[in-house]
Structure formats: C-alpha cells, structure tokens
Amino acid sequence: MVVDRPIQYVAQLSHVREVSLLGTADLAFWTDRLAGEDLAPAVRDGKAQVLIVAAQAQFWRLRFREVSFSVLVDPPEAQLGRDAAYLLCAFNSNRFFAFCERTFFSTPYQAADIRLTPSPPAAIQVFRHGTMLCSAEMRAEQSGHISATSSQAEEVWTGPIFLPRGAGADDSSGKLFLARISGRTDRYPFLPSRDSLTVAPSSAANVLNALVDSHFAATEWLIRENATHAKSKTMERAGMPRWSPSRAGCQANG
C-alpha cells in the first residue's frame, strides 16, 4: 500500500558541480530488459532515453566524484510524478563512500578512478582496475559550444530512482530511493562531428555492455556548475510515499 507521508532526504549536497549526458537507445532492447523489473522505458521520438550523471561534490569534508548510468522510465504509479529512472550502475572515487552506498542504500555502486571536467569544454572519464569503462569529451572549443547553447534555465528533476532487483528476488520485491537535482542548467547539443563518446565493453562493468548492445548515442550535454543533489533513504517499492513535484520542492527546502 502506498503511504502518504512527507519525503525525508537523508543526504543533501550543495555546490555540486555536475555534467550530464543525455542520449537515446534502442526502445525494443530496453522494453525487454526492463520488463523483468516491472518498468517501461520513457519514450521520446521512438527511442529509449539514457542519462549519465557525473558530479563533483563534498561530504563530511571529503571531496569525491561519482558517475551514474540510468535509463529514464515511466513512473508505474501516477502519483509518482513525471520523472523517474532505473539505475543501471554507479561509481564513486571514494572507496568508503562506494561501500556505504552498497551497504546502507542497496545501490549498485563500485569504486573507480573518475576524472571530471564539469564546465565547457566538459569531459567525463571512468576507469576501473586500469580499464577505461567510459569516456565522453566536449572536444570543440568552448566558444563553439557556447554559441550552440540550446537553453539556460533553472531546472529541477524530482522522482524515484528504481534499483536493480537482487538475484532470486520474487516478483513483488524491488527497492527505490527518491531524488532531487536542482540548479541552473546549461544545455548544449552533443556534436558528433567534434565531441566523442566511448563506452567500452568490459568484464569490469558488465552492465555497461547493455549500452553498447542497445546502440546508445549521446544527444545533449547538461551542465550545472552549482547544483543541489538530495536523496532519501532506500525503501521498498510497496512502502514508497506519494510523490508530486510541488510537495517535493517544499520538502527539499525544509
């Protein structure tokens, strides 16, 4: 049963420097892949949508970098609002933080070497055990991308982040946490003639092979140089609170 109660964020980070990459992937692939999670990919122009979020922040006076890979999904319950995502995997530059994510939040985090340039010309690189897993670079000169900026506005993303079910989980199980990302967002088109994106098949992160198999292609950069990130505790799907963008905004400020 869905319980209507205030949303409590257990972690909220300010002054986050973030660069994200939005792209498309094969809809049939992700429709089939997410069926076992009782989720359906959000559709745009006949394609599924994939979001890579890379951030540089500080917690407990410790600086860290992290990168997450998600597929945007349709919220299975109308009261959850407009935004939702399925977290494929994530990486943190701090091994202890990655451990805490896995242990206390049930999130699929691993430790990795992350290199991040969170302003134009932006760049994201993820290495694990010396193997490059992902690299995205805004290779054009900064002025070229600034002239091609598609929008600059305050934006807020609020919604549930669904987590992969564990091995042997029954059909009724499943966990999630609620997230909020806000801040001025500069959007730039991903320019294939100048920019680059590489996702390398690797045994170090098998789940990322799905991005290659589903023909993931980047379409847009999103850069927030002073963002706020917030997340709730991890909860069972059956126990999630009701969600609406207006209530989420009030809770984030409280």
pLDDT in tens, 73-95: 998 765 556 799 999 999 999 99
**Is residue 2 situated within a structural domain?**
no
Contacts of 52 (CB under 8 A, 6+ apart): 20, 21, 22, 23, 67, 68, 69, 70, 124, 134, 136
CATH number, domain with residue 179: 2.40.400.10
- Residue 247 pLDDT more than 50? no
**Is residue 1 situated within a structural domain?**
no
**Is residue 4 situated within a structural domain?**
no
**Is residue 59 situated within a structural domain?**
yes
> How far is 167 from 186, CA to CA, in rounded Å?
39
**Is residue 3 situated within a structural domain?**
no
Give the position of tokens 């933080």. Answer: 97
> How far is 199 from 212, CA to CA, in rounded Å?
7
**Is residue 118 situated within a structural domain?**
yes
Say if residues 93 and 113 touch (Cβ distance below 8 Å). yes
> How far is 192 from 206, CA to CA, in rounded Å?
25
Q: How confident is the model at residue 238 (pLDDT cuts 50, 70, 90)?
A: confident
pLDDT at 78: 54
C-alpha neighbours within 13 Å on the C-beta side of residue 221: 31
Contacts of 87 (CB under 8 A, 6+ apart): 68, 69, 70, 107, 108, 161, 162, 163, 164
Handedness of CA 186, 149, 191, 42 (dihedral sign): positive
> How far is 130 from 113, CA to CA, in rounded Å?
8
**Is residue 41 situated within a structural domain?**
yes
Q: How confident is the model at residue 117 (pLDDT cuts 50, 70, 90)?
A: very high
- Residue 144 pLDDT more than 60? no
Q: List pLDDT tens digits, range 31-71.
A: 999 999 999 999 999 999 999 999 999 988 899 999 999 99
pLDDT at 246: 42
Tell me the three state secondary structure of residue 135.
strand
**Is residue 115 situated within a structural domain?**
yes
Could you tell me which of 105, 100, 104, 68 has the C-alpha nearest to residue 85? Answer: 68
pTM score of the predicted model: 0.87
Record the tokens describing residue 163, joined without a space. 């987590």
pLDDT at 249: 37
- Residue 5 pLDDT more than 60? no
Domain that holds residue 31: 9-253
C-alpha neighbours within 13 Å on the C-beta side of residue 41: 25
Number of domains in the chain: 1
